[in-house]
Amino acid sequence: MGVLAAAVDAGVTFLDTADVYGDGRSEKLVGTFVAERGGDASGLTVATKMGRRADPHVAEAYTLDAYRGWTDRSRENLGTDTLDLVQLHCPPTAVLGREQTYDDLDTLVGEGRIAAYGVSVETVEEALTAIARPNVASVQIILNVFRRKPLERVLPAAAAAGVGIIARVPLASGLLSGRYDEHTQFAATDHRSYNRHGEAFDVGETFAGVPYEVGVAAAREVAALTPDGATTAQLALRWIVDQPGVSVVIPGARTPEQARNNARAAALPPLDDATLAALERIYDERIREHVHTRW
């Protein structure tokens, strides 16, 4: 709760959660926080996600009845009649291409269960499929200094369609914090240990798909560009904020101070041309070959 309070007190107005985070615990914490804030929470948008509770996680599991069940559970967890924004949580690609998917989501809006819907995706092509639908409000996609491909087509298409872009994994699982080196050890239960090669889920979610040693070396070069008075993480977040078409960035935080530091990135001046050029060079020379053709 302290992290949420620190973030909101620092000016954060968008909270992103999901029904599978802590098996609903995250939603309950957010719901309790919003309720305790009362009128002070009127400017907050709470976005949740649904679909990853499906077992097996296959396209056939995405039905109107399932959507109703998932959203009813989230409404109870969050303590609200109508969810602000519900995103399909990296569904099977086939779900995004079905007409019925969007008809069902429109039905949820009509029933008052949700106010708006969006999608969280893995690939550029999935994002473009969703953006083409008339009532999609948002697309959540990995975007950071080490994952630039969405700049080419996704952000322009979203801007043209009036679709919001939610940038996730903005610090490449912490690589862009500048705090890790070749000797850093992660807990066995941390995806940065067990999913480095996509053993459990899409490898693009772990270090943004960049091989760890490659990312550490590239992050050192990024860190050298950090302006006085800022952190490397703030530099990386500011780069995303500056991209035309980005609506919101969702960095995680484990402590109140991390939350406050993340929020301070919005107060940094836009990055200068020399820094932007250097970041692009680092990507082209070190990162592009590992990620650009994959997602």
Active site positions, annotated:
21
**Helices 273-282, 232-241: crossing angle, 10 deg rounding:** 100
With beta carbons less than 8 A apart as the criterion, state whether 72 and 101 touch.
no
CA-wise closest residue to 122 among 109, 108, 139: 139
CA distance 123 to 142: 9
Rounded to 5°, the CA angle 258-167-92 comes to 125
Specify the residue for token string 């996704």.
154
The values of phi and psi at residue 91, to 5°, are -75, 165
What is the distance in angstroms between the CA of the first residue and the CA of the last residue of the chain? 35
- C-alpha separations of 230 from 216, 225, 259 in Å: 19, 10, 14
CA-wise closest residue to 174 among 121, 231, 227: 231
Q: What is the dihedral of CA 218, 128, 125, 114, to 10 degrees?
A: 90
Question: SS3 of 232, please?
Answer: helix
